[in-house]
């Protein structure tokens, strides 16, 4: 049973966009400038001649945030001086982010896939908590589930996700109250990894970087991050937002390496800008 919901071009799986496109790789901050979150980047198709305003860009930022932490934060505004930048052979152009907007130039004659970049801080505000709306769901209630797995390798001082995110529907529904172990999830990830080209090239699966769960396509729950370091069990929660069907999306990232290194520096824990 399918439980995934697309909130952007890479919600199901990431594929590099061909042609003119915008890469959104932002840092979410509060009004005082304190970092709230750094969501994985997303890419969006642009058309030469398209008019792009600050509202258009905030909408794309919101999709990027919701793809990572749905319904937790609202994108409010860009920090003063924010720009969209594009590099191409022979030059660089920067476009101020304003209410009036700018027109996307046609650069396809000088580069095959013109990549515009939005790499700014964006002011966010928390969305009102939905905790009070949750209800108690009976034990053993079926929960349709999927396991989303992204493999990441080390690049030049940053982590690079492979071109495809693997989404596997679990063979059997989970149920409320069921215990899921980290070993069970890693075994599934190893099975999926053995089907990738990187495995054939000699890469090894080294370690889990993070695990989070989205309940009923609405409630985000972090289960594990690389600094925890220990095996874990998590329980399919009984306190959930009302839904016609109970769903559970388990998303994980795993670090792979060709030389088998098991070093993991904090300098590599986010998508570098």
Asked if the structure places residue 13 within a domain, the reply is no
In a domain, 12, yes or no: no
The answer to whether 236 and 177 are in contact (CB under 8 A) is yes
Mean pLDDT of the chain: 83
Query: Quick one: 85 and 166 in the same domain?
Result: no
Residue 55 forms part of a structural domain: yes
- Cα 102 to chain centroid distance, Å, stands at 27
Give residue-wise pLDDT tens across range 134-181: 899 999 999 999 998 989 887 665 667 776 667 777 767 799 999 999
- DSSP assigned state of 19: S
Q: Do both 164 and 110 map to the same domain?
A: no
CA atoms 158, 163, 168, 174: torsion sign? positive
Is residue 64 located within the same domain as residue 100? yes
pLDDT tens-digit profile of 86-113? 999 989 999 999 999 999 999 998 998 8
Q: Are residues 107 and 190 in the same domain?
A: no
Round to whole Å and give the CA distance between 259 and 158: 17
Q: What is the CATH number of the domain that holds 101?
A: 3.10.20.130
- Spatial CB neighbours of 58, under 8 Å, sequence gap ≥ 6: 75, 77, 78, 122
- Domain assignment present for residue 80? The answer is yes
Query: Based on the structure, what is the number of domains in the chain?
Result: 2
Question: Cα separation of 256 and 216, whole Å?
Answer: 30
pLDDT at 7 exceeding the cut of 70: no
Domain of residue 199: give its range.
135-268
Domain with 168 in it: what CATH number? 3.10.20.180
pLDDT at residue 210 greater than cutoff 90? no
Tell whether 253 and 152 lie within a shared domain.
Answer: yes
pTM: 0.55
What span, in angstroms and rounded, lies between the C-alpha atoms of 253 and 238?
A: 25
For CA atoms 55, 58, 63, 64, give the dihedral sign.
positive
């Amino acid at each position: 049973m399918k439980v995934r919901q697309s909130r952007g071009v890479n919600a199901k799986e990431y594929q590099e966009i061909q042609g003119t496109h915008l890469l959104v790789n932002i840092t979410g901050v509060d009004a005082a400038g304190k970092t709230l979150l750094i969501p994985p980047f997303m890419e969006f198709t642009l058309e030469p001649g398209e008019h792009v305003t600050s509202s258009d860009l905030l909408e794309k930022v919101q999709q990027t945030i919701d793809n990572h932490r749905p319904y937790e934060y609202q994108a409010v505004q860009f920090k003063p001086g924010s720009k969209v930048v594009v590099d191409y052979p022979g030059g660089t152009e920067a476009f101020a982010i304003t209410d009036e907007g700018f027109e996307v130039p046609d650069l396809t004659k000088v580069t095959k896939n013109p990549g515009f970049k939005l790499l700014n801080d964006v002011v966010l505000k928390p969305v009102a908590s939905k905790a009070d709306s949750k209800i108690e769901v009976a034990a053993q209630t079926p929960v349709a589930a999927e396991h989303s797995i992204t493999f990441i390798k080390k690049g030049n001082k940053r982590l690079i996700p492979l071109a495809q995110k693997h989404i596997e529907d679990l063979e059997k529904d989970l149920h409320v109250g069921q215990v899921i172990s980290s070993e069970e999830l890693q075994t599934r990830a190893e099975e999926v990894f053995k089907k990738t080209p990187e495995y054939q090239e000699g890469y090894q699966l080294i370690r889990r970087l993070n695990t989070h769960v989205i309940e009923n396509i609405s409630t985000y729950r972090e289960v594990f991050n690389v600094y925890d370091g220990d095996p874990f069990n998590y329980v399919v929660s009984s306190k959930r937002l009302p839904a016609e069907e109970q769903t559970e999306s388990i998303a994980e990232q795993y670090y792979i390496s060709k030389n088998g290194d098991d070093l993991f520096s904090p300098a590599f824990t986010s998508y570098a800008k």
